[in-house]
Homo-oligomer: A and B are copies of this chain.
Amino acid sequence: VHISSGPAMAKSKFEYVRQFETDDPCLPNCWVVVRIDGKAFHKFTDVHHYMKPNDERGLSLMTRAAQTVMSEFNEIVLAYGQSDEYSFVFHKNCKLYNRRASKIMTNVVSLFASSFTLYWPRFFNSQELQYPPSFDGRVVLYPSDENLKDYLSWRQADCHINNLYNTCFWKLVQEKGLSPNRAAERLKGTLSSDKNELLFAEFNINYNNLPELYRKGAVIIRPKGTIDDASPSLDKSINNHTRGHDARASKKPMSVVLHTDIIGKQFWEDNPHILNPKI
């Protein structure tokens, strides 16, 4: 037998190409944030007849997908979502996949996308998903707790600003019959206070009374005592993915969804275990 002509030998001849692969480890002792964003969701929401400015089905589906991600990766201490984006915060000491950025972000974004797709019918019922959605993702590192909290504040402030604008915009379009262009013109250069006033004066809406889901986005955390830093779940049993929503599978719920302010100190004082899971 001419061993060198065997497939194993052929393969070994090509195996040098593995040397072109690179590692991309995240710097240790930094918070690892994976932020995902829907690709071309302006079109996606049009095609799927999302309610404007906020579609509760769509937002709930996003959060459902995020919970699936959280129940798969115990190393995530908090997730924050708004509009078509979600940020996942991995503990700064997490060792998941040796902290390889590519591996972490692709696992997160693909699980999010498949969950979004799989759970679609639970939220949109008979309205079919017209085509597979995609999301982009990135990893960002934050060295200090302060940096991390500022990152989350940045996203929540963004949620607020966009929602205030969108609420005004769609009221003008839907109730006053303005064209999109006219509505945008009307809002150009206005301050937040102007927009609050517009909502109150013209639509009798007190912005602060609108649902917190819309104004604050969604914060997913784990109840105190449920973060098990010591046993990271690199290989989960197939039942694990349901822990997030299945109280029977586990005495402790795996995640809790809040619509609350995370910019101020109160939230962090009330939940010290988030940034210090061992507490």
Contact = CB atoms under 8 A, between A and B. Distances in A.
Number of copies of this kind of chain in the complex: 4
Interface residues of A, number: 82
Q: Interface residues of A: mostly helix, strand, loop or mixed?
A: helix
A51 B114 CA distance: 23
Interface in A86-114: 101-103, 105-107, 109-114
A160 B24 CA distance: 30
Contact of A11 (B132, B135, B154): B154
Nearest to A106: B137
Interface in A243-268: 263
B110 A147 contact: no
A7 to B, nearest CB: 5
Given A10-B157, A11-B161, A15-B154, A238 B117 contact: no
Interface string A17-51: 11111111101111000001001100100010000
A27 B28 contact: no
A201 interface: no
